[in-house]
Structure 1
Amino acid sequence: MTDLPPFSDLSPAALEAEQHDRATLRVWLRRLALRVAARLLPDYTAAVLAHRYLCSAKGLLDDPALHRYGFEVVQIAPDCALLRKPGAGPQAPRVLIVPGHDGHFRQFARLLHALEAQGAACDMLVLPGHLHGHFSECALNDIVEAIRLAGLQHGPYDGLAAHCLSASAALLAMDAGLRCPRVAMISAVLDVRHLVTLGARQYGISGRCLQRFLDRLDARSAPYVMDTPWRPVATEREEDILLLHARSDYAAPFEQVESFETLCPTARLSAWDNLGHNGILGSRAAMEEVAAFLTRPAIRPGNWPAHLQTARNDAPPDQKKTGPSPEGPAVPRP
């Protein structure tokens, strides 16, 4: 039998292959342990995975690139903040940007550049659980509440751009009373259950453990459960809405946004080929389209469309559209 060469004599390619094999073995063992735990302790395993799914390891306020981007940090709640970039003067259009869950401001460099070219002032929302990466939870209700809070404290905004799950949250926030004349929904997740089930499949769980996982996420996101109907909300929208979507989006089926455009009389779908769910944010042409939609022409509160004049964020409750007030529903955090 041929002896193996000493470890120090292995070529870089052989070392890399050995390290890859070890990493592959570790991944396989972790997945095996998870499958065993899911079968023997489905409730406990579901609770642990649901907590992990809702947490983000990203600490955006601790990122060294924060200051290179020229952001001013504006705290709006103990676990929520805005990253602010000034516009070209006091009359500059104001835009609120909402990254998706576990999103990062680096993903929006193209959009920020395009908005800056339009002279817009930008506020980027840092979602709960994303400030310092302390593994605190951020569920759908937290995102809705954060968007609502930003609008109440620092609105009105001329435009709003939201990505992934936050696009669905923005829709729910508008239904709860938030008003913004133009909204760009980028890679909008309308079927939340589909997205969550994809995440569960990555964990490799099924059966009772999967059901407990879904139940826990529903309970944590209440009152905005995964199956909250979005079609009735779409038919009632009066804002100008741009649906920017990749045809091959794996996380948010394209057919759903096609249905949204059909149901919403003020929505326009911009479909993109050869881009993905997150990759669309890196397309200069796509982000320039979003920036142009949100800022041209700039819409100030005094000349908002008539149907939104009676629904200003700071209008008295009796002047707002019938439905949940912008002060609620307040969703308590555990």
Structure 2
Amino acid sequence: MSALNWEREGRSWPNREHSRFIYADGLRFHVQQMGEGPVLLLLHGTGGSTHSWHAIIPRLASHYTVVAPDLPLHGFTGGEPVSSRASLAGMVRSLAALIDTLDAKPAGLVGHSAGAAIALELARTGVVNESTPVIGFSPALTPFPGAAAQIFPGLARLLLLNPFVPKVFAGVSRFAGDPKRFLQRSTGSQTDPTSLACYAKLFANSHHARGALAMMAHWDLNTFSKGLSGISNPVLLVHGRSDQAVPLGSVEGAAAKLPNARLDVWENLGHIAHEEAPQRAAAVIAQFAEAHIQGAK
């Protein structure tokens, strides 16, 4: 079981010419970097990869150095699906090491779904300055409601213990036939053909599936959400009203806990709203960054 093969699945990867591989915290990270200026770090969510930002990165690169890694256990980044890698603390540690290795301290953080939680934890733990703006698209910042908060992580842990389950997940997705319909049902979003082709490759890879399961198994949003009130960074949360994965109420609750947060709700868009409306997403990122980053254009 291995990460996706760069010379096979990665041959037509979007923005491939801006990809490189960096060793940090014992991992071989796949990183895309484009542009010059203040550094913006873009973090995808569970089950995603750099492709999630493929239409946004070029739009920001005229004024920023845009850095977008595949998270540990995801896409073309390696790693074993153990708690020290897959937990929020593990992700933050590995990304902090990557930032140091690149010598690219972010002037702004952008995250999608679980990536938004990672971005906020980077802020809370002092990896970036208190003035560093954080933008979260469809942010997954609070536990599942009710009994699901205990059931889903426990179920993911049980599935993770069975070495055949990720292969079954990958096999089912490979033969299910229609990633477009699957994404629409699970996220409430419709994305472009480039992203759909990438999702099809990701869903068919058992290492990637195991990495996503490991994140779900070891994620502790209950503890994380209790620390939101201690994050003073300027925060913009963007949520699609049609999101089928993260309830709007949970994002409203998170925004209320953050001392310096604003919530924008986008109509008729789902969980991957930034992929559905990349031009709008890039404009929002640029506007918020310009307002809070010294020297930003």
Superposed pair shares fold, TM > 0.5: yes
| Class of the TM-score when normalised by the shorter of the 2 chains | 0.5 to 0.7
Aligned-residue offset at 1:257: 1.6
The answer to whether structure 1 residue 164 and structure 2 residue 113 are counterparts is yes
Pairing 1:86-165 to 2, within 5 Å after superposition: 86-88=34-36, 92-117=37-62, 119-132=63-76, 136-137=80-81, 139-141=86-88, 142-153=90-101, 154-165=103-114
Identify if the C-alpha distance between structure 1 residues 139 and 279 changes in structure 2 by more than 3 Å, giving closer, same or farther: same
Identity over aligned pairs, percent:
22
Q: Distance in 2 between matches of 1:84 and 1:211?
A: 30
> Quick one: which of 152, 167, 187 aligns to 2:138?
187
User: 1:199-230 deviations in whole A, cap 9, x for unaligned?
Assistant: x88xxxxxxx8496399769963xx5342241
The answer to whether structure 1 residue 75 and structure 2 residue 55 are counterparts is no
Identify if the C-alpha distance between structure 1 residues 295 and 63 changes in structure 2 by more than 3 Å, giving closer, same or farther: farther
User: 1:55-95 deviations in whole A, cap 9, x for unaligned?
Assistant: 9965568511347443141413242425243424xxx1211
The equivalent of 1:174 in structure 2 is 123
Equivalent pair of 1:87/1:122 in contact (CA under 8 Å): yes
Identify if the C-alpha distance between structure 1 residues 56 and 265 changes in structure 2 by more than 3 Å, giving closer, same or farther: farther
User: 1:147-200 deviations in whole A, cap 9, x for unaligned?
Assistant: 322333333211111111121122223222221411111111113446x959x8
The answer to whether structure 1 residue 225 and structure 2 residue 220 are counterparts is yes
Pairing 1:152-301 to 2, within 5 Å after superposition: 152-153=100-101, 154-180=103-129, 181-193=132-144, 210=155, 213=158, 221=218, 225-230=220-225, 232-283=226-277, 284-296=279-291, 298-299=293-294
Equivalent pair of 1:60/1:130 in contact (CA under 8 Å): no
RMSD: 3.7
Identify if the C-alpha distance between structure 1 residues 188 and 158 changes in structure 2 by more than 3 Å, giving closer, same or farther: same
TM-score if structure 2 supplies the norm length?
0.65
Bigger radius of gyration among the two = 1
Pairing 1:45-60 to 2, within 5 Å after superposition: 58=4
Aligned length, in residue pairs = 232
Q: Distance in 2 between matches of 1:278 and 1:103?
A: 10
Point out where structure 2 has 5 or more consecutive residues left out of the alignment: 162-213
TM-score if structure 1 supplies the norm length?
0.58
Q: Distance in 2 between matches of 1:212 and 1:97?
A: 27
